[in-house]
Structure formats: C-alpha cells, structure tokens
Amino acid sequence: MNTAFYSPTDGRWSPNDAAWWVSGNAFQSLLDYMSKTGTRGSYTDQALQIFNTQRAPVPWWPQGGGEFRADSTDDTGWWALAMVRMFDLTGDQSYLNISMLDEAYISQYWSDSVCAGGVYVDIRALSYKNAIANQLYVQLCAALHNRIPGDTVYLERAVTGWGWLRASGMVNDDGLFNDGLAMREDNTCFNNGLPVWTYNQGVILGAAAELYRATKDTSYLTFARQIADSVLSSKSLIQNDGILTESCETDDHPTGCNGDQQIFKGIFARNLADLDSLVEGRPYRSFLEANARRAYSNDRAGGGGSDLYDVSWAGPYVASSLAKQASVLSLWVALI
C-alpha cells in the first residue's frame, strides 16, 4: 500500500485521486497494524508525517479550523477515530484532545427538529441524516468515554445517539441498515431505501463494542450480533460461496464500485473482528478467515512479488487502487 500509493510529499495516500476520508481509513489500517503487532520503526515516522500534514486547514474546509474538522461530519469522524488510535499507541493526551475537539465540532450538527434527532452529514448544506455519520458519532463518543476517567458526558451522548439510531427506521426488514433517511414536509423522517452498504453494517458493530466496554450491557452485543448475522445470511452481501460482496461488484452494476465503495468491506471486517473479540467462541473468525484465504488465492496480483489486490475478494484481479488495497489490509489486520 505504501509503495504503490503513498505520497511522502503530501502525507497521504493517492492525494490526486482518492477521497480524503479514504486516506484516513488507510491511516487507521496502518495504526491498527502497529497496535496489534507492536511494530513501530519507519511506520512511526510515517504516522507523524500524516498527522502533521493532514491536521492543518486545507482550502475546501469551510471554517478552516484544522484538526481534521471537515465539511462533513462523517469525514471528521473517521479522522477523529484515527486520533483515538494514535492516543492508544502513544499515550499522548494531545491526540485524544483533538478527538474531543472533533466530537465538539460534530455535535454542533445534532438537531432534534428534523428526524427527532441525529447529526447532519453535510455541514455546508445542513442536510441528510444518514447511517454512517451517526454510527461514527456514537462510536467516537463511546471511545472517548472509555479513555477519559470519570466521564459521563460522552457516554450520555453515545447512549442517546445509539437510541436514536435504533428508533430512526434505518434498519430494514432484512435487519440491515440502509444508507439514510428521507424527510417529509413535517420534518419527520423515514428509511430512504438507498443501498445497503457493508460499512454501514460494520461501524455499528464497532459502536456496539465500545458501548459494551463502557457499560457491560450485553444488549449492545445482542443487537450487534443481529446485524452481523443478517449480513452473513444476506444473499446480496454474501455471494461466491460465502464471500463478502458489495452490491456494486455484481453484474447489475456494470460501472463497478467507485473510489469510496471500494473500501467499504475492509471497514466491515475491522469492526466485525472487534465484535468477535467480545463474543464467546469467536463466532465470526472463521468467516473472516475464509474471506482472507479466498482473497489471497483469487484476488491477488501475485506475479513478481506484488501483493496488490482488487475490489472483489472472490477475484479475479484486474487492477488495484488505494481503497481496494486499504480494504484488504483491514481484512488481514482483523485476523491478527
């Protein structure tokens, strides 16, 4: 991933053609690898380079605040969670402080007057309450609580956000999160029926894991397992003899997956592994292992020592990208 896509000059991966949040997820994968393996070396310098380069304001931020605050709450949330992991790795409070600043920034865009709660994803337009922004917000608040002795504020916000997500109507009859909500004229909202993406099923698992750690309330794990089991039993998300498959990979979508969608499955794998670590018997590890084996045998460029991967873990390999590579890296790290 670093050899093919990282730009030391810019301090991010694929700066010219990959979304900023995708680079943030590649960063998360790198930090997770460092955390699980104890590996430091040159990766420490790279992590500091990314931090120092990407924390500064860039032209498209409307308020120029820096510290990873973007013009959408979900982009801010991804980088805020990476700062939580930086704190875990280093013990340096300054990283956690940035996550707290990011949480304060996101929380400004919570509104009870539309959809009875939830944060807007689009800050500039103050529009669209969707699954990913709110799932990330709950995960971030719960993660902050678990790292701040004596906290009550972040836990209360996490619990409130969780309750709103459960009641929002975004979970469909198949037990899976659709993309978000549509709004009626009276400001009440309903499931918009947009696609079921794997990362929406994944981040809620990570949020549940953090809330369980905070409260020891097993109802969070129960709901998370219902979502995870719905994924594993889904005929649309599980294809090719048990392989996680994004809807945009199928023949029904001839244009394929875009640069955002290519990373979604790795995010699911990361969070499924977090849930799995808390459940007796590790019921999801075999699923992750099966996907990793298939990706290695069918979706790897292979020749000449290359370890580049495509989007479909069932194969075949055609071409790689940052999002595809970061996605499969998260799958590998999930199994460490």
Q: What is the pLDDT of residue 253?
A: 77
Instruction: Indicate the length of the chain as a whole number.
Output: 336
Q: What percent of the chain has pLDDT over 70?
A: 96
Tens digit of each residue's pLDDT (9 = 90 or more) over 48-94: 999 999 987 655 555 556 799 888 999 999 999 999 999 999 999 99
Query: Is 201 within 8 Å of 268 (Cβ atoms)?
Result: yes
Tens digit of each residue's pLDDT (9 = 90 or more) over 92-104: 999 999 999 999 9
Helices (H), 152-298: 153-167, 198-215, 218-232, 264-276, 285-298
Q: What is the pLDDT of residue 305?
A: 65
Q: What is the pLDDT of residue 56?
A: 73
Q: What is the pLDDT of residue 306?
A: 83
Residues 249, 150: Cα–Cα separation, whole Å: 46
Mean pLDDT along residues 172-200: 97
pTM recorded for the entire structure: 0.97
For 42-89, give the DSSP string: HHHHHHHHHHHHHSS--TT-SS---TT--SBHHHHHHHHHHHHHHHHH
Mean of the per-residue pLDDT values for the chain? 95
φ, ψ for residue 271, nearest 5 deg: -80, -30
Tens digit of each residue's pLDDT (9 = 90 or more) over 271-280: 999 999 999 9
Tens digit of each residue's pLDDT (9 = 90 or more) over 239-267: 999 999 999 998 777 789 999 999 999 99
Q: What is the pLDDT of residue 61?
A: 53
Q: What is the pLDDT of residue 64?
A: 54
pLDDT at residue 41 greater than cutoff 80: yes
Tens digit of each residue's pLDDT (9 = 90 or more) over 127-163: 999 999 999 999 999 999 999 999 999 999 999 999 9
Pick the CATH number of 109-234 from 1.50.10.20, 1.10.1420.10, 3.90.180.10, 2.40.30.270: 1.50.10.20
Residues 212, 190: Cα–Cα separation, whole Å: 28
Domain boundaries, the chain: 109-234
